[in-house]
Amino acid sequence: MSEATRIDGKAFAAKLRERVGALAEAFAETAGRKPGLAVVLVGEDAASQVYVGAKGKATVAANMESFEHRLPADTDEGTLLALVAQLNADEAVDGILVQLPLPGHLNEQAVIGAIDPGKDVDGFHVINAGRLSVGQTGFVPCTPLGCMMLLADRLGDLSGLEAVVIGRSNIVGKPMAQLLLDANATVTIAHSRTKDLPGVVRRADIVVAAVGRPEMVKADWLKPGATVIDVGINRLPPEPGSDKGRLVGDVAFAEASETAAAITPVPGGVGPMTIAVLLRNTLVAAYEHAGLDTPEI
């Protein structure tokens, strides 16, 4: 079997950001203001600092206003909720994102639940999760929506295809399964208690791995010709003589490439789509807040 096609999420995301940027410019001409995204970071988690920095830069590059709020790790819940309330009321802010994970003393559900669902561009609020589950329009979490864009680009119509999502988080696994179902795939959600996980995954035309376990999915778990979307971003321990470990996904990329027809790499696959879709959702929020018809993005 020939080597799998690498699904280039980085290039796809760059095109999406460019399109969003052009539409944001047009929005500003009509609405008299730029779309605005507020990002809240609590604490000093190293990876979160990188992601928040990247979001701010991407927001500005896409002709939007970026509002960054960095709070100390010992911020109490009342202070954070007060900031969320202030952002909810701010007309310059179309989208609000609280970077996860939050420090352990803060209740993530309470904080996410305090965001105005109409500004919840992460799509994590229970109202938006509920809307997705009953097929109503709302904000859809960025990573799963980005995965769907890559799948649609690669496979077109997903009707009747067998899809296995490994992982059942509220942020990726569950919305991903819902989106695949909405696209008429036959969907299985597999998880840590699934019996014969390799056997279940081997049935799939589409595999979405979102478990956070480095290189767990092996080549012999895959049906030949499968399309593999790797959501995992895991840093391995550093090699001797190096200060930083290699980034790998949840799929053993090199060996899986021998069996799959197409696969997303890590880095450069799903990760960049998360930020591009966040900008897309913020633009949609801005159109809605301005009472304008939202263009197809």
- What is the number of the residue whose Cβ is closest to ligand LMY7XDAE? 271
In contact, 73 and 42? CB cutoff 8 Å: yes
Start-to-end Cα distance in the chain: 36
According to the binding rule CB under 6 A, does residue 266 interact with ligand LMY7XDAE?
Answer: yes
- Position among 122, 215, 230, 250 found at the interface with ligand LMY7XDAE (CB under 6 A): 122
According to the annotation, is 246 in a ligand binding site? no
CB-count burial class (<10 Å; 0-12, 13-18, 19+) for 137: exposed
Q: Which residue among the candidates 34, 94, 99, 174 is catalytic per the annotation?
A: 99
Scan for tokens 């010992």, then name that residue.
74
3-class DSSP state for residue 137? coil
Which is closer to ligand LMY7XDAE, CB of 204 or CB of 210?
A: 210
Q: Which stretch binds ligand LMY7XDAE (CB under 6 A): 186-194, 223-231, 268-276, 286-294?
A: 268-276
Is 99 assigned a catalytic role?
Answer: yes
In contact, 183 and 159? CB cutoff 8 Å: yes
Distance between CA atoms of residues 113 and 125, nearest Å: 6
In contact, 24 and 36? CB cutoff 8 Å: no
Which is closer to ligand LMY7XDAE, CB of 108 or CB of 162?
A: 108
Q: Which residue among the candidates 94, 119, 120, 122 is catalytic per the annotation?
A: 122
How do strand 162-166 and strand 206-209 relate by DSSP bridges? parallel
Is 122 assigned a catalytic role?
Answer: yes
According to the annotation, is 192 in a ligand binding site? no
Polymer length in residues for the chain: 297
Q: Which residue among the candidates 55, 119, 174, 223 is catalytic per the annotation?
A: 55
CB of 99 to ligand LMY7XDAE, least distance (A): 5
The first and second tokens of residue 114, run together, are 């305090």
According to the binding rule CB under 6 A, does residue 71 interact with ligand LMY7XDAE?
Answer: no
Which is closer to ligand LMY7XDAE, CB of 161 or CB of 271?
A: 271
According to the binding rule CB under 6 A, does residue 106 interact with ligand LMY7XDAE?
Answer: no
CB of 52 to ligand LMY7XDAE, least distance (A): 8
According to the binding rule CB under 6 A, does residue 204 interact with ligand LMY7XDAE?
Answer: no
DSSP character string of 47-111: HHHHHHHHHHHHHHHTT-EEEEEEE-TT--HHHHHHHHHHHHH-TT--EEEE-SSPPTTS-HHHH
Is 55 assigned a catalytic role?
Answer: yes
According to the annotation, is 233 in a ligand binding site? yes
Scan for tokens 């376990």, then name that residue.
213
Distance between CA atoms of residues 189 and 168, nearest Å: 7
Q: Which residues are catalytic?
A: 55, 99, 122
Interacting residues with ligand LMY7XDAE (CB under 6 A):
50-51, 97-100, 122, 142-143, 233, 247, 266-268, 271-272, 274-275
